[in-house]
A = this chain, B = another copy of it.
Amino acid sequence: MSRIKIGVITASDRASAGIYEDISGVAIQETMRDYLKSEHEIVYRCIPDNQDTIEETMVELCDREGCCLVVTTGGTGPAKRDVTPEATENVCEKMMPGFGELMRQVSLKYVPTAILSRQTAGIRGKSLIINLPGKPKSIRECLDAVFPAVPYCIDLIEGPYLECNEEVIKAFRPKQ
A residues 116-166 with Cβ under 8 Å of B?
Answer: 116-118, 120, 123, 128, 146, 148-149, 152-153, 156-158
For the complex, what is the distance from the CA of A119 to the CA of B60, rounded to whole Å?
29
Partner of A149, one of B79, B115, B149: B115
Number of copies: 3
> A153–B78 contact, CB under 8 A?
yes
> A116–B149 contact, CB under 8 A?
yes
Among the 9-residue stretches A4-12, A27-35, A61-69, A98-106, the one with 4 or more Cβ atoms under 8 Å from chain B is A98-106
Would you give the shortest CB distance from A37 to chain B, in whole angstroms?
18
User: Please, which residues of chain B bring their CB within 8 A of the CB of A100?
Assistant: 97-98
> A97–B113 contact, CB under 8 A?
no
User: Please, which residues of chain B bring their CB within 8 A of the CB of A158?
Assistant: 79-80
Partner of A98, one of B94, B115, B128: B115
Q: A113-B149, A114-B149, A116-B156 are in contact. List 13 more A-B contacts (CB 8 A).
A: A77-B156, A78-B153, A80-B157, A80-B158, A82-B94, A98-B116, A98-B117, A101-B101, A112-B148, A112-B149, A113-B152, A113-B172, A113-B173
20 A-B pairs with CB atoms under 8 Å apart are A78-B94, A78-B156, A79-B156, A79-B158, A80-B157, A96-B115, A97-B97, A98-B100, A98-B114, A98-B116, A98-B118, A101-B101, A102-B108, A105-B105, A112-B148, A113-B153, A114-B149, A115-B149, A116-B152, A116-B156
